[in-house]
Amino acid sequence: MGVYVLRRLLYAVPILIGVNLLTFVLFFVVNAPDDMARMQLGEKRVTPEAVQLWKQAHGYDKPLLFNATTTGIAQFTDTIFFDKSVRLFAFQFGASDDGRNIGADIAQRMWPSLAIALPVLIVGLAVNISVALGLALLRATYVDIGSVVVLVALLSISGLFYIIGGQFVLSKLLHLAPISGYDTGLNALKFLVLPVLIGVISGIGAGTRWYRTLFLEEISKDYVRTARAKGLSETRVLVRHVLGNALIPILTGVVVVLPLLFMGSLLTESFFGIPGLGSYTIDAISNQDFAIVRSMVFLGAVLYILGLILTDFSYALVDPRIRLQ
Amino acid sequence: MTAPLLDIAGLTVNLGSASAPLPVVAGIDLTVHAGETLALVGESGCGKSLTALALMRLLPPAARITAGTVRLGETDLLHLTEAEMRRVRGSQMAMIFQEPQTALNPVLTVGAQIAEAGSLSATRVIELLQAVGIPDSVLRVHDYPHQLSGGMKQRVMIALALAGNPQLLIADEPTTALDVTIQAQVLRLLKRLQHETGMALLLITHDLGVVAETANRLAVMYAGQIVETAPVADFFAAPAHPYSRRLLESLPSAAQREQRLATIAGRVPPLKTLFIGCRFADRCQMAREICHTTPPPWQMRNAEHGARCHFVDDHRQLVVESCQLAVGSWQSEIAPAPLLRVADLQVHFPIQRGLLRRTVGQIKAVDGVTLDLHAGQTLALVGESGCGKTTIGRAILQLLAPTGGTICYGEHNLSALTQRQLRPLRKEIQIIFQDPYAAMNPRLLVGDVIGEGLLALGLAPRRADRERRVAELLTLVGLDAAAANRYPHEFSGGQRQRICIARALAVEPRILICDEPTSALDVSVQAQILNLLKDLQQRLGLAYLFITHNVSVVAYLADAVAVMYLGRIVEQGAVTDLLTDSRHPYTRALLSAVPVIDSTQRRSVIQLDGEMPSPRQPPPGCHFHPRCPDAEPDCARAYPEMQQFGAGRLVRCFRADLSCQTDN
């Protein structure tokens, strides 16, 4: 097991280097620092001096890969590639275009993101699994057939509709929760209710349909017939045998997104004015602040790789047939 | 006579919607008495498994019981509520299934699964595991199903079924997925448990040998009906229904070597058939006018032996028309030089561990095998699953790179050739696989499946040539040339295997490797395929390497036999010598484990303890000695060398010259 962990972590290194190189090419070769400066300064009245000044202020005035003006190791370290890309490996994100420390911003803004994403995941999982199990118990009845209509309708509706509709009905008409905003400490709770509720509801359609399919697939297997032949009740067959096996794909599907919960949700956070990483990214994109976008892309890749490694471990934990070596 | 334990009357099961029902079980009557074994026999699709599931009321959602009564003791099972029925399941009647691999829950320990069957204490679970002969049962309780072998899993299934002390055990093909020596162990276990507990056994099987050795009475099922019931001895002495007779005659055996096997014309009628007369009439060679117009009544030949046939007492009909003798002589002339010479073949798979995946050991799947295959000859490679016989076939085809040894075709050593040099020789050796369902690409037309090899090897680059050749091949294997424009799923299992044979023959090979070609097929279909293979060999002079675990097929078809155990050949020789006078204790145990119909020929089963060990860690010395009834201390020291006995007879056993006297 230990050896397996080590090998998987080593495999992650070349993937991260690849991600890093690719983002470097995208952000600095396709979109050169001169273009960035022009965009930041506005299209009109951009003088070459102003561009030069902006580049100097933000550290983009160095050569891309190789600095011939210095000597020794500085020929490689005093470059854009080293400053902006290699430093990402040490999670040194540098400063954003408006001069803020990106690392500090991320550390501060990931908690509001997590405060929404984690409850959405846990409550959503509980709701989806229970509803799906209930539908599996009532399979091929009118309840089940009707549920197909309802669930397909639920999953066909755009997430935007849930957000705007929820804000309108629950906050504007019924005044049950604030429309948007955020606060520190426990005062944040009243701001979380609406986004969490809407997050859960918008996931029911797809989640329940998928879990119901997983349950029905397991129900048709031979060991379920064996369990029934023992004289077990249908509920016990479902909970102990079917759920136990269907949880394997469900759990591993959840584990892979666990690290990404830190990244927050772009839509929800922007609409509810939550100061998390999702709205951070959206704001950076609309402000053309490539330093932040680059950091978030890299962070996303790291967390995704972490999620995949965790998935493999969780398989070994929940499925006795799988041993890691 | 006392009242039967299980009394089934007019049981009817329909598939499909109420508006267009398909009767799969069409009004069957059966009784099983306490302590008795009743075998329900029939080919796939006859409705025997659905009958069993109907008794347990565990039918799949698409099937419904529409008529009939099922009484277990005093209880009318079909009128119980679902909750009451649950109390019957597991406690009064229990069931074991064909595929122990999938019938156990993979994420629960076997102990938990047994305990659940009757809310048992831990000690009772261990007792049950001991009762079904699982060694170290205290430890095995905590094992998951995947940690046990197939035979052990089936024992766990039996323990699970016994948990509630049932009066009736329904066993649906309980040994079909197991090797013969393990089958013998499981059947003996079932007999012993039945003797101890006095339960009745409803044994569902397609294997008439198993029926002959274990059952008291049998019922033959065809197209959803019971066509014959009889005590086992009466049945095998004189089967009353023409279908039963044909089924018996289609079994291959040594006695039929010079003949073609009897086959049943046509195929099992599809479910939607509307029957007017006898359901078997269209395939029956004795059918007369009345058979096609009037459903036959149930007629008793004597108090216990009855059949659904108009001519059950017509003894003239009993004269089986003599099987046509094959043209020419089956005695194949053995050419002096073998076509294929495998010498000291080794196929080892590395076991890799650690961060750098260093090789820490070898799985010796094939370890020093020497074989000669002559033109026009059939060499059978026999052994239990995991002994390495399929690996040999794949190594000969160069689908696997051998670790050592040579595979010589003519003067070419196949394993020393490059891919480019090998290409022209690919056409010489072809293979047919066990499962004709999985062996063809379902998206290709049959014509393309057959023609693909011709195209790939550049033998018929022109489309018109290929089409002509495909038509020839389809005719050769007994199919209509129009089959080329249809898809594989439109054909039955036997027809698909014919297509696979045509595919293999397309490039005109001289050697055909047949890897269990009939083990996925019903006996009557198996007979057709064996006849076809025999015909083709005679017509085309093919050499067959016939990989199988079925000893009666070997007796019928093979000229020479090689018996494998754990990667090595333990005995080889001409088929008649080897089957009648086997020298190696493993060969004798293997042969004795095969269920035999004729009680006069039945030998006592040489019970092998345990199972074949893992090739990761073969036992020291002779690999077979831990299970060998004749082993002595010397056997653990070194692997015995090949010894020659007479012409072409090779045995690897220290005691080969002694042991021949102890038999017979």
pLDDT digits (tens, 9 = 90+) for A238-253: 999 999 999 999 988 8
Residue whose pair of structure tokens reads 């919960």 in the numeric block: A261
Of B103, B146, B354, the CB nearest to A226: B103
Continuous H helices in B263-323: 289-293
- Which residues in chain A are closer than 8 Å to B99, comparing Cβ atoms? 222
Taking the Cβ of residue B157 and every Cβ of chain A, the question of whether any pair is shorter than 8 Å is answered with yes
pLDDT at residue B322 tops 90: no
Secondary structure letter of residue B456 according to DSSP = H
User: What is the percentage of chain A residues whose pLDDT exceeds 90?
Assistant: 35
Q: What is the pLDDT of residue A43?
A: 66
Q: Strand B22-32's sheet: what is its strand order?
A: B22-32, B6-15, B63-72, B75-76
Taking the Cβ of residue B58 and every Cβ of chain A, the question of whether any pair is shorter than 8 Å is answered with yes
CB interface of B with A, residues 101-120, below 8 Å: 102-108, 116-118
Q: Is B73 left (phi over 0), alpha (psi -120 to 50) or beta?
A: left
- Which residues in chain A are closer than 8 Å to B86, comparing Cβ atoms? 231-233
- Which residues in chain A are closer than 8 Å to B87, comparing Cβ atoms? 231
CB B51 within 8 A of CB B221: yes
Contacting residues for B454 by C-beta, under 8 A, at least 6 apart: B460, B466, B469, B506, B507
**Which two tokens mark B295?**
């459903």
Taking the Cβ of residue B468 and every Cβ of chain A, the question of whether any pair is shorter than 8 Å is answered with no
Contacting residues for B425 by C-beta, under 8 A, at least 6 apart: B409, B412, B414, B417
User: What is the percentage of chain B residues whose pLDDT exceeds 70?
Assistant: 95
Secondary structure letter of residue A170 according to DSSP = I
Question: Which of A68-77, B60-69, B227-236, B409-418 is the least confident region?
Answer: A68-77
CB A36 within 8 A of CB A60: yes
Which stretch of DSSP H or E encloses residue B430? strand B429-432
DSSP-derived pairing of the beta strands B298-300 and B75-76 = unpaired
Residue B152 to residue B133: CA distance in whole angstroms:
9
Coil/strand/helix, residue B172? strand
Distance from CA of A6 to the nearest CA of B (A): 8
Residue B388 to residue B618: CA distance in whole angstroms:
13
Instruction: Compute, in degrees rounded to 10, the torsion defined by CA atoms A222, A223, A229, A231.
Output: -150
Measured CA to CA in angstroms, residue B116 lies from A229, A237, B56, B75, B96 at distances of 12, 11, 18, 24, 16
Coil/strand/helix, residue B569? strand
Q: What is the mean pLDDT of residues B360-382?
A: 91
8 Å CB contact of A222 and B91: no
- Which residues in chain B are closer than 8 Å to A219, comparing Cβ atoms? none
Q: What is the pLDDT of residue B664?
A: 36
Q: What is the pLDDT of residue B321?
A: 42
pLDDT digit string (tens) for B463-522? Answer: 999 999 999 999 999 888 889 999 998 888 889 999 999 999 999 999 999 999 988 888
Residue of B105, B128, B169 to mutate, testing the A interface (most A Cβ within 10 Å of its Cβ): B105
Distance from CA of B71 to the nearest CA of A (A): 18
Of B61, B90, B105, the CB nearest to A231: B90
Residue B192 to residue B463: CA distance in whole angstroms:
63
What was the ipTM of the complex prediction?
Answer: 0.82
Q: What is the pLDDT of residue B205?
A: 92
- Which residues in chain A are closer than 8 Å to B61, comparing Cβ atoms? 140
Measured CA to CA in angstroms, residue B593 lies from B247, B304, B407, B550, B557 at distances of 22, 30, 33, 11, 20
Residue B379 to residue B333: CA distance in whole angstroms:
14
**Which two tokens mark B357?**
């995946």
Q: Strand B340-353's sheet: what is its strand order?
A: B358-373, B340-353, B404-409, B412-413
pLDDT at residue B325 tops 60: no
Of B58, B83, B88, the CB nearest to A225: B58
Q: Which residue is closest to B109 within chain A, CA to CA? A: A320
Residue B570 to residue B623: CA distance in whole angstroms:
10
Q: A221 falls in which pLDDT band (50, 70, 90)?
A: very high
pLDDT at residue B221 tops 80: yes
Q: B314 falls in which pLDDT band (50, 70, 90)?
A: low
Residue whose pair of structure tokens reads 């013998």 in the numeric block: B184
What is the residue-averaged pLDDT of chain B?
Answer: 87
Q: Which residue is closest to B354 within chain A, CA to CA? A: A3
Q: What is the pLDDT of residue A31?
A: 76
Q: What is the mean pLDDT of residues B273-297?
A: 88
8 Å CB contact of B104 and A226: yes
Of A229, A245, A321, the CB nearest to B56: A229
The sign of the CA dihedral B86, B89, B90, B95 is: negative
pLDDT digit string (tens) for A125-178? Answer: 999 999 999 999 998 889 999 999 999 999 999 888 999 999 999 888 988 888
Residue B657 to residue A15: CA distance in whole angstroms:
65
Alpha carbon B37 to its chain's center: 22
Q: What is the mean pLDDT of residues A257-263?
A: 86
8 Å CB contact of B146 and A222: no
Compute the count of residue pairs across chains A and B with CB atoms less than 8 Å apart: 79
pLDDT at residue B319 tops 60: no
Taking the Cβ of residue B143 and every Cβ of chain A, the question of whether any pair is shorter than 8 Å is answered with no
Q: A61 falls in which pLDDT band (50, 70, 90)?
A: confident
Residue B663 to residue B93: CA distance in whole angstroms:
42
- Checking B17-25 for CB contacts under 8 A at 24+ apart, the result is B21/B66, B22/B271, B22/B272, B23/B224, B23/B271, B24/B50, B24/B63, B24/B224, B24/B271, B25/B50, B25/B51, B25/B54, B25/B224
Q: What is the pLDDT of residue B252?
A: 86
Residue A69 to residue A79: CA distance in whole angstroms:
11
Of A225, A226, A245, the CB nearest to B107: A245
Residues B387-411 as b or e (16 or more Cβ within 10 Å = b)? bbbbbbbbbbbbebebbebebbbee
Residue of A11, A141, A222 to mutate, testing the B interface (most B Cβ within 10 Å of its Cβ): A222
Q: What is the pLDDT of residue B317?
A: 45
pLDDT digit string (tens) for B573-627? Answer: 999 888 888 889 999 999 888 888 877 777 777 878 778 888 888 888 899 998 8
The one-letter amino acid code at A101 reads: N
Q: What is the pLDDT of residue B486?
A: 92
Taking the Cβ of residue B156 and every Cβ of chain A, the question of whether any pair is shorter than 8 Å is answered with no
pLDDT digit string (tens) for B227-266? Answer: 999 999 999 988 999 999 888 888 888 888 878 888 887 7
- Checking B439-444 for CB contacts under 8 A at 24+ apart, the result is B439/B500, B440/B488, B440/B496, B440/B499, B440/B500, B440/B503, B441/B488, B442/B487, B442/B488, B442/B489, B443/B487, B444/B487, B444/B488
Q: What is the 3-state secondary structure (H, E, C) of B345-371?
A: EEEEEEEEECCCCEEEEEEEEEEEEEE
Distance from CA of B96 to the nearest CA of A (A): 8
Contacting residues for A191 by C-beta, under 8 A, at least 6 apart: A177, A178, A180, A181, A182, A183, A272, A274
Residue of B77, B96, B98, B107 to mutate, testing the A interface (most A Cβ within 10 Å of its Cβ): B107
For residue B177, how many other CB atoms are within 10 A of its CB?
20
Of A318, A320, A325, the CB nearest to B144: A320
Q: What is the pTM of this model?
A: 0.84
By CB atoms closer than 10 A (0-12, 13-18, 19+), residue B190 is buried
Residue B613 to residue A151: CA distance in whole angstroms:
53
CB interface of B with A, residues 413-432, below 8 Å: none
**Which two tokens mark B306?**
């009855």
Coil/strand/helix, residue B164? coil
**Which two tokens mark A167?**
């804000």
Q: What is the pLDDT of residue B658?
A: 58
Of A7, A140, A229, the CB nearest to B355: A7
Contacting residues for B597 by C-beta, under 8 A, at least 6 apart: B208, B209, B212, B236, B248, B251
Q: What is the mean pLDDT of residues B340-346?
A: 93
Q: How many CA atoms lie within 13 A of A181 on its CB side?
A: 11
Q: Which residues sit opposite B14 in a β-bridge?
A: B23, B64
Residue B222 to residue B24: CA distance in whole angstroms:
10
B317: nearest Cα among B297, B280, B287, B282: B287
CB A226 within 8 A of CB B160: yes
DSSP-derived pairing of the beta strands B6-15 and B22-32 = antiparallel
Q: What is the pLDDT of residue B467?
A: 93
Alpha carbon A154 to its chain's center: 22
Q: Which residue is closest to B104 within chain A, CA to CA? A: A223
Q: Which residue is closest to B88 within chain A, CA to CA? A: A231
**Which two tokens mark B1?**
């006579």
Measured CA to CA in angstroms, residue B612 lies from B151, B161, B565, B566, B608 at distances of 11, 26, 8, 7, 10
Contacting residues for B155 by C-beta, under 8 A, at least 6 apart: B129, B132, B133, B134, B186, B189
User: What is the percentage of chain B residues whose pLDDT exceeds 90?
Assistant: 46
Q: In this predicted model, which residue has the larger pLDDT, B326 or B473? A: B473
Whole-angstrom distance between the N-terminal and C-terminal Cα of chain B?
A: 41
Alpha carbon B597 to its chain's center: 16
pLDDT at residue B111 tops 80: yes
Distance from CA of A19 to the nearest CA of B (A): 25
- Which residues in chain B are closer than 8 Å to A214, comparing Cβ atoms? none
